[in-house]
Amino acid sequence: MTNNNTVFDRPIMTLSDLRRLGRQGGANLILDDGRQAIIRPKFAAEKKRQWKNGQWSIQEEILSFHEIYPAIAIVKRKHLIIAEKIKRNGKSLLVLTGVGYHRPNQNQRRKT
């Protein structure tokens, strides 16, 4: 059987999808410049090492979803790629792959 799920059929990932992934937990972002961030319910957190008082300390930098959305290249949960950036009609879009996360339909959204 052939796979009829072409690039044009895949839905675009929204900010509400990122927030929902943050509530579910275990998802990471990989940005265009190679940085990685953990998805939280209201923001993404990037861990940075910082030299402070003669010792290395780990600081979390808070990144809001609407600011980093254009820079997101891949969204992963465990070893599954949930969303990836593709070019469609000359625009870069973040689309769902259909693996690891499925957007609930309207009836399920109202119940939760």
Q: Each residue of 94-109: pLDDT tens digit?
A: 999 999 998 887 776 6
- CA distances to 37, 38, 108 from 64, in Å: 11, 12, 26
pTM: 0.81
The CA distance from 37 to 43, in Å, is 10
> What are the sequence ranges of the domains in the chain?
10-49+58-111
Reference 30, options 11, 46, 12, 13; nearest CA is 46
Q: Each residue of 9-68: pLDDT tens digit?
A: 889 999 999 999 999 999 999 999 999 999 999 999 999 999 999 999 999 999 999 999
Cross-strand partners of 77? 27, 80
Task: Say which DSSP state 12 is in.
Answer: B
pLDDT category at 5 given cuts 50, 70, 90 is low
- CA distances to 3, 11, 56 from 27, in Å: 26, 19, 26
